Amino acid sequence: MLTLRSLATGLSTLLFAAAPVFAQKAQVVVVHGVPGATVDVYVNGNLAIEDFEPFTVTDEITLTAGQVDLAIVAAGGSISSPIATLSASLGDGSFSTVTANLTATGAVELRAFANDAARTDASRDAVLVVRHVAQAPLVDLVVRSVEKQKVLASASGLANGQELTTLLKGGGFYEVEVLPTGSTAPVFGPQTIFVSAGSTLALYAVGSVTGGSFQVLQQSFVTSNVARLDVVHGIPGVPVDVYVNGQVAIPNFQPLTNTGVLEFAPGTYDIALTTVGGSIGSPILRGDFDLARGRASSLVACLDEGGDPQVLAFLEDLSAATARQSRCIVRHCAAAPEVGVAFFSGKLDKAALISDPAVIENGDQADLVAARSGLLSIGLPGSALPLFTPTSVRLASRGQSVVYVFGSLNGGSVSTFVQEVPTF
């Protein structure tokens, strides 16, 4: 499951073998489709969501994998008098949606749907899922292309609790229509929707058709079961061994280098840095780090403002920049006070400012957007002199370049390091 682009096969085997120790997690999204009922949501007897309003959808919630007991009660009510309950087995790394909805006869229930996140988010296809969880008779679903009105998928006589899944080539705009079976009058649509390439859009038919509360709710998620990580070493003069889950993963990791993109099973990993050949019992740095499904992170070993070692975690933006634009991100990871950053075009003697200047302190970043490559100037605020010769940064089209400020100002070791972050 774990692959990597720039390290040896042995590291892949080590991380994959260690992952189950820390990755016993499952992710859940809750959809509230019961009209007129504000509820509290309990997980294993503990209050998890308070005053959950009808027709809302939560973000992804991380739970411990295994048997999970869910219950909804009237807001402020007692768990001993639940409106509906559900016992579900959540596998390690699984991703599910739980709906609070009406059955075909109008009863309130909790229902679980498994979300297929097996395809990687580098895929340029998209998936549309329509799930019928409304008080309604049988319904017909139609999915069409917008321009040619070509029927791409359809289902007749879809019952409460059933779903229709459609693979869409390339993503884009599509048209969806929901009709009671045998009727020509739609209860939803024809509605134009947008589905991003490399993602899934789930539509939930909720409420009551006969009661006049019928609605369609949306849930969008990345279709990926991996988490991406790039480890960046910015502590000057200190080669380290990197341990993952108690075992050496990157021996003799040199300063001002990075691993490149690694792919992990989502979960929590114990990561430690030691001196080369040193004991994990006396690490330079150690901590647990969460790697989320479908997301990319950079884990940066560097100095804090006072010169002590630290690890910073940055969540990367994987979306492509807009046309004719690239992103240049500057991260202050040096033992130095706040710095001013600015991006210029042209040569040193004829430079023109092409981005708004920014001032950042240790642990922060500045997002500079530019249409072309240029010169990055980094200096102390209020000073006309940069800390060092401006750095030439080549920006990939629609890509993302990250410039780190590493080292120590008092120690005379301040320098820059450029990391390329792939977008999808």
Q: In terms of pLDDT, which residue wins out, 61 or 389? A: 61
Predicted confidence at residue 335, as pLDDT, reads: 95
Question: Which regions of the chain carry the CATH code 2.60.40.4150?
Answer: 321-424
The pLDDT tens digits of the residues spanning 17-33 come to: 333 344 477 889 999 99
> For residue 116, which of 133, 134, 100, 93 has the smallest C-alpha distance?
93
- 21: enclosing H helix or E strand: helix 9-22
The pLDDT tens digits of the residues spanning 197-212 come to: 778 899 999 999 989 9
Top CATH class, 122-223: mainly beta
Mean predicted confidence (pLDDT) in 124-141:
90
What is the distance between the terminal CA atoms of the chain, rounded to a whole angstrom?
Answer: 20
Q: How many H-runs (helices) and E-runs (strands) does the chain carry?
A: 1, 34
Q: Kind of pairing, strands 326-332 and 400-406?
A: parallel
> What is the three-class DSSP state of 162?
coil
pLDDT of 191 strictly over 60:
yes
Predicted confidence at residue 371, as pLDDT, reads: 55
The domain 226-316: what is its CATH number? 2.60.40
Band of residue 124 on the pLDDT scale cut at 50, 70, 90? low
Band of residue 320 on the pLDDT scale cut at 50, 70, 90? low
Mean predicted confidence (pLDDT) in 176-180:
93
Contact 52, 73 (CB under 8 A): no
The pLDDT tens digits of the residues spanning 255-292 come to: 999 998 888 877 788 999 999 999 999 999 999 988 87
Q: Name the least confident of 13-17, 83-87, 118-122, 413-417.
A: 13-17
Top CATH class, 321-424: mainly beta
Write b or e for each residue in 182-212: b if 16 or more Cβ atoms lie within 10 A of its Cβ, otherwise e.
eeeebbbbeeebebebbbbbbbbbbbbbeee
User: Going by C-beta distance under 8 Å and a sequence separation of 6 or more, which residues neighbour residue 300?
Assistant: 231, 232, 234, 311, 312, 313, 314, 331, 333, 404
pLDDT of 119 strictly over 70:
no
CA distance 167 to 152: 9
Longest dimension (CA), the chain: 79
The values of phi and psi at residue 71, to 5°, are -150, 145
- Whether omega for the bond prior to residue 190 falls within 30 degrees of 0, making it cis, is yes
> For residue 61, which of 269, 195, 219 has the smallest C-alpha distance?
219
Predicted confidence at residue 17, as pLDDT, reads: 36
The domain 24-114: what is its CATH number? 2.60.40
> What is the three-class DSSP state of 403?
strand
- Dihedral sign of CA atoms 324, 298, 118, 70 in order: negative
Q: In terms of pLDDT, which residue wins out, 75 or 119? A: 75
Question: Which regions of the chain carry the CATH code 2.60.40.10?
Answer: 122-223
Structure tokens, 137: 């008779």
pTM, two decimal places = 0.64
Predicted confidence at residue 196, as pLDDT, reads: 80
DSSP, res 349: G
Predicted confidence at residue 7, as pLDDT, reads: 32
Residue located via tokens 């320098």: 415
Band of residue 352 on the pLDDT scale cut at 50, 70, 90? low
Residue located via tokens 């929590």: 268
CA distance 209 to 142: 18
Predicted confidence at residue 202, as pLDDT, reads: 94
pLDDT of 383 strictly over 70:
no
The pLDDT tens digits of the residues spanning 140-158 come to: 999 998 888 999 999 999 9
Q: Kind of pairing, strands 139-145 and 126-132?
A: unpaired
Average pLDDT value over all residues in the chain: 84
